[in-house]
Amino acid sequence: MDYSGLTEMLDESNPHLGGNMKEGSPFTFAPTAWDYLIRRFALRSVMDLGSGLGYAAHYFHKQGLQVVAVDGLSSNVERAIYPTVLADLTRTAVHCRVDLVHCQEVVEHVDEKYLENVLASLACGKLILMTAATPGQGGYHHVNEQPLQYWVDHLKRHRCEVLPEDTRRVRRFAQADGALHLARTGLLFANRSL
């Protein structure tokens, strides 16, 4: 992945909040995969958890969805291209009800002792589309790199199950979009409790 030319946005005083690219990351932008989910599941609402500057949230909004964008970095909230709610997952879970929770390149930044906040926030959606850094991937403040099965097992406690065929399709579409994180570690869950 070549990030040259992109400007990294970090808050050194709050490393647990991760960071993002000022111009958005080409490796998380996955319009073909998102369009598939919108059509396949007749989505009407989405929460973008860890929305950065709001590029994905803006895309979902332009497709006619009701969108809640959530990020922990106050600088992102202030500069976002889509209105964004400030929330730090080390302090609280985010509570709402949506058709889809979209969460790319976030969970590995949150220490395991705050896992319940992460899981409760993800479980706001009837569907969850997430990525997770795996052991050895490395990255800025990656404190919870886990095998994907870790997330599958923990989300089962919230009655969320992987949709294998849809996960395969989303990964294929993401690969074609160049959204490499979603192509490599993307998981789509159905929340059986909603």
Q: What's the pLDDT tens digit per position in 113-159?
A: 999 999 999 999 999 999 999 998 988 778 999 999 999 999 999 99
For the residues 16-26, what does the mean pLDDT come to? 74
Residue pair 136/169 in contact by the 8 Å Cβ criterion? no
What's residue 80's pLDDT?
96
Torsion of the alpha carbons at 111, 33, 100 and 132, rounded to the nearest 10 = -10
DSSP 113: G
Whole-number Å distance between alpha carbons of 170 and 183: 7
What's residue 32's pLDDT?
99
CATH 3.40.50.261 matches 28-191: no
pLDDT band of 26, cuts 50, 70, 90 = confident
What's residue 160's pLDDT?
99
What's residue 147's pLDDT?
98
| pLDDT greater than 80 at residue 8 | no
DSSP 6: P
Residue pair 129/157 in contact by the 8 Å Cβ criterion? no
What's residue 24's pLDDT?
73
For the residues 19-48, what does the mean pLDDT come to? 91
Which helix (H) or strand (E) is 99 found in, with range?
strand 98-103
